[in-house]
Amino acid sequence: MNPEVWGFIGAILGASTSILTTFINNKNSNRIQSNLELNRRRELFREFQRDNLLKIQEKISKNMRLIGKAHIEDLSYFKETNKWNHADLSTELDNSLADSFRELSFMIERVDNNELREKLKKLIEQMAKCLFSQNLTESKEEIKKMTFELDNLMEDLGVVLRSYY
């Protein structure tokens, strides 16, 4: 074969190798970029869940304090009138309770873990029962139940929260 043919074959092989190498590099680069994006999204999700669960812990604590204040107001009214659950809560306390329950409900719906979300909803229901008890004995009983559920829930919430670190 003459040298021009060998030169032409060499040029074709060189160009083909270059094209194949570029294709492989681009494919690997795209795969790496996709993995990075997927990891970034996963970390954003984990961070959101972590932050949401921490806010829920704080909001539950605030709700407990507000329920305690409502109970004290009910007790004061009961001592004066011997009637339970007929007193209107102070406007500030009533608004704070409504806002706190609303915000907590929103946060609970954002929880990814279904089991934990259901337990949180159950706690919210128990908190509401404390506010609508029909007598002093029932109120004390509902507060005991709420405290028991809260203790169990905080343990589960801690486990889920740690899994996002």
pLDDT band at 122 (very low <50, low <70, confident <90, very high): very high
Question: What is the residue range of 140's domain?
Answer: 46-163
Amino acid at 124: I
**16-28: per-residue pLDDT in tens?**
898 989 889 889 8
Query: What is the DSSP secondary-structure string of 107-135?
Result: HHHT-S-HHHHHHHHHHHHHHHHHHT-SS
Please check whether residue 2 lies inside any domain of the structure: no
Please check whether residue 121 lies inside any domain of the structure: yes
Burial 95-125 (b: 16+ CB within 10 A, else e): ebbeebbeebeebbeebebeebeebbeebbe
**53-100: per-residue pLDDT in tens?**
999 999 999 999 999 999 999 999 999 998 887 778 899 999 999 999
Please check whether residue 149 lies inside any domain of the structure: yes
Please check whether residue 5 lies inside any domain of the structure: no
Please check whether residue 30 lies inside any domain of the structure: no
Geometric angle at alpha carbon 158, from 156 and 160, rounded to 5°: 70
Please check whether residue 3 lies inside any domain of the structure: no
Please check whether residue 155 lies inside any domain of the structure: yes
Tally the domains of the chain.
Answer: 1
